[in-house]
Every structure is written in C-alpha cells, then in structure tokens.
Amino acid sequence: MNDFDYDMFEDAEELSPMYDESYSSANLWYDDEESEEVVSVGELWEMCVEPTMRDGLVHVGKLLIWCFLFRASTQLVQVPPMVCHAVSAGSGLLILHHFFKFTTVYIIGFIVVAYIILSLTSYLLKKYRGPIMGTICIVFLVVCELFFVKKTEWHKIRGAQMLVAMKIISVAFDADIGTLQTLPSPIEFSGYLLCVGTCVFGPWIPYRDYIAIYNKPVWNFQWVWRIISSIVLSMLFLTISTCWIQWLIPDESWRWWVAYRDALSFRSSHYFISFLSEASAITSGFGHHDTSYWTLTVARPQYIEVPRSLVQVVVFWNMPMHQWLKTYIFRTTKSFGSFAAILSTYAVSSLLHGLNFQLAAVLLSLGAYTYTEYVLRQKLASVFRACIQVRPCRKDCSHRSKDKQFLVILANVGFGILAMFHLSYLGVMFDVSSKLQDEGYNYMHTISKWSTLNYASHWVALFTYVFYLLV
C-alpha cells in the first residue's frame, strides 16, 4: 500500500469572503408571489449570472493587481533578497486586510507566536520540530475558535489561518529532515507565510518554491494565457455554483437529483476557489518550469466529476494540499501501520479545518470509503488478474485483462458510478444557500441531510467492506 495517496475535502466557501446569500440563494430568480414560474435564460443571466460575475471580478481584480505589482517590483529587475521578502509580506498584509479587516490581527499573532516557538525548539532540541509545531498550530486554531473569535468572523478567516498553519508545519518538518539547512530569518519567514499570491485562497506552496520565484523569473505569453484561462474557468464555476445548477435542477426534483445538485454546487464553488488560487499564484510567479512551461495545477475537475475511483477524487481535489498531507502527515505516521496513517491523515486535515462536525464527519467517512475501495479493488485485481485497481495500470503491468477490454471497462465504470454516488451523498450538506454557512454547519444539519437519504452511502460502504472480507 505504499502508493496509496490521501487528500482532504476543503470547505471552499470558508476561503471565499465574497459569498453572499443574495447570490447563492436558490430562489434568486423567482418572484416571491409566483414561485412556480421559472425564469428564462436571459432573465437568469440578468438577475444572477451577470451580477455574480461582476462582483467576483471586482474581488479577483484587486487580488490579481496586487499579485502583479508584487511580481513586477521583485522579479523584473535585480532586487536585494530582503527587499523581496519585505514586499511579499507587506503586500500580503494589505490584501489580507482588504478581505478580512481587523481579524487579520489573529493571523499576524499566529505568525509571531509560531516563529518564536520554532526558533526556541530549534535552539533547544534541533529535532521533533515538525510534530511540535503541528501540535501547537492545531491547539492555537482550536483555542482561537473556542475563546477568542466570533464564529462568523472565524469562519471567514480560518481558511487563511489553515494555510498559515500548513506553511509553518512544512517549514518545521523540512528543518527536521534537512531540506532546510537553517531556519528562515524573520523577514524570510514572513515573506513566505504572507506572500500575496497564496495567503488568501492558497494554494499551499513549499518554501523552496517560494524562494525559487526570485531566481531567473519567466515572463512569456504562456504565463499570460495560464492566468487568463484560470480566471475564465474560475468565473465559469462560480456561476455554475450560484446560478446554473439551481436553475437546471429545481427543488421539486427527485431527492437524489437534489442531492447531486447540492453536492455539485459545493464542488463547483471549490473549483472556483481552486482556479482563482491558481491564477493568483501564477500571477505572483509560482509554477514555472525551466524557461517556458507553467505547471502549477490545483484541481482537475474532469477526474472528480467523472472519477475512476474515490482515491482519484481525493488526489485531484486539491493537488498541492494532497502533496502536503502525503509528505508531512501520511509518511510521518506510516510506521504505525497503513490504517493508523489513514486515520491520522484525515484527523489532522479535519482538525486544521477547526471544530466542525460536518467536515469531520465527511473526512472520516471519506477515509473509511477510500480505504475500503482500495483494498477491495486490490484484491479483485489480484483474483481476476485485471486492471481494476483504483489507479490506471502501467502498460507493462502483469495483469491478463487490460484496461481496454470490455469487462474491465465495465467494472471500472461501475466503480466510477459508485464513487459519484458517494460524492453526492457526502457533499449534500454543503449547501451554499444555507444561512448556516456564515457560522459553520452544526451536528443536526449534517444528520438531517444524511437522514433524508436514509444513510444510504454508509450502508453501501459497509456492504462493500463486508464483501471485501468475504472475497
């Protein structure tokens, strides 16, 4: 099971301060007195799509302008490294204040406390810095959520706080394993954590990649094209999430269609954030390879909406975050056994999101689902000598039945449909039109959503595991 990868579901709305009930309401294009009358495409465009895109572009534009100014001021000409880091931290603070106002002080306090503790542990121990900083970061996030910040305010900034925590933990682990020979100075540390291209919407970027953007920066047409294409895709998925999907599948539809609609709406909001984070990071200079190609990719919707397996979904849901979890959590805990590593990975990802029963329930369910799917398909692939594992086989694999054979295609399609079923069930409670999203979804909301579907996905997962034991 060395190649079993893990990721986490990220609550996309909590990273986006531009979500507003007036845009996400499913009844936006209905008249209160004539709720039965469905509007035309033109009216939908005028009442929902156009204002949603306008509001989104206003926020996106401000972010991208600051990302470009940061890159132009630090990568067009030779600038002293300390100046680069200072500009990175300063522009990051400005954009954080734009989105989060006074609550930015909690992010600054988090960074200051973390650097002091990391410096002390480096001086006293010079090892175990990764586990120590991981524990401290999680405790800090939980304490702030419980005692210091209002729920509505914390729900807006916890995505940015989670990104800061991931960067701090990665620096601590890199120092332990020798990837970093010395700790970054305070200004380097601040520049990395507050970099304007990644501090609001992500993605997580390793410290070495942050340092690399100042080394032989690439300016070419492909850089511009990647930014434009990412923005277009981001706006497309924003309108799908807030406008199109509710229009295509009304509330009166079959309950499983409504479940699929709500889950797709949530996934589309995640794709919006993913492509937006891609655009901001690339605008800041991240992601170039050699002298021409820009390889930074955050999510791949095509592998999520038409999946081969749930394992494939969690890998491509947020690829930088997947790499973070795999490198710093899964591999660190792998010595305790595969199942313990799985639970640790999903538990850490859940705690980083805060005290949220909804996310914890989804993540732990997803952990059980992906483990069950992986071991079952491994066993079936061994018994039938067929390419039906969670990932496509290599061309030179030892299986007798290859991917292009009809029965193998049929089996893989069947597992893909099963994955889509689980995704609809798990994502149904992420209702972007609910007023609860301002404070986070509670225990009763999650249970009520799953109960309307008779806990079908959990029963199917249990049956799948029993079947695996019997094979």
CA-based end-to-end distance of the chain:
19
Q: Please tell me the distance from the alpha carbon of residue 352 to that of residue 163, in angstroms, as a whole number.
A: 9
Q: Identify whether the C-beta of residue 419 lies closer than 8 Å to the C-beta of residue 313.
A: yes
Helix, strand, coil % over all residues of the chain, rounded to 5: 70, 0, 30
- H or E element in which residue 81 lies: helix 81-100
b/e map of 232-252 (b: 16 or more CB within 10 Å)? Answer: ebbbbbbbbbbbbbbbebeee
Q: Please tell me the distance from the alpha carbon of residue 316 to that of residue 332, in angstroms, as a whole number.
A: 22
Q: Which residue has the tokens 């309950």?
A: 255
Q: Identify whether the C-beta of residue 355 lies closer than 8 Å to the C-beta of residue 139.
A: no
3-class secondary-structure state, position 444: helix
Q: Identify whether the C-beta of residue 234 lies closer than 8 Å to the C-beta of residue 279.
A: yes
Q: Is 289 a catalytic residue?
A: no
Question: Largest Cα–Cα distance of the chain, in whole Å?
Answer: 70
3-class secondary-structure state, position 263: helix
**What is the residue type of 378?**
Q
- Could you tell me which residues come within 8 angstroms of residue 38 by beta carbon, excluding any fewer than 6 positions away? 29, 30, 247, 250
Q: Please tell me the distance from the alpha carbon of residue 366 to that of residue 349, in angstroms, as a whole number.
A: 12
Q: Identify whether the C-beta of residue 104 lies closer than 8 Å to the C-beta of residue 96.
A: yes
Q: Please tell me the distance from the alpha carbon of residue 28 to that of residue 25, in angstroms, as a whole number.
A: 5
Q: Identify whether the C-beta of residue 137 lies closer than 8 Å to the C-beta of residue 169.
A: yes
Which one is catalytic: 353, 399, 422, 445? Answer: 353
**What is the residue type of 124?**
L
The residues annotated as belonging to the active site are 353
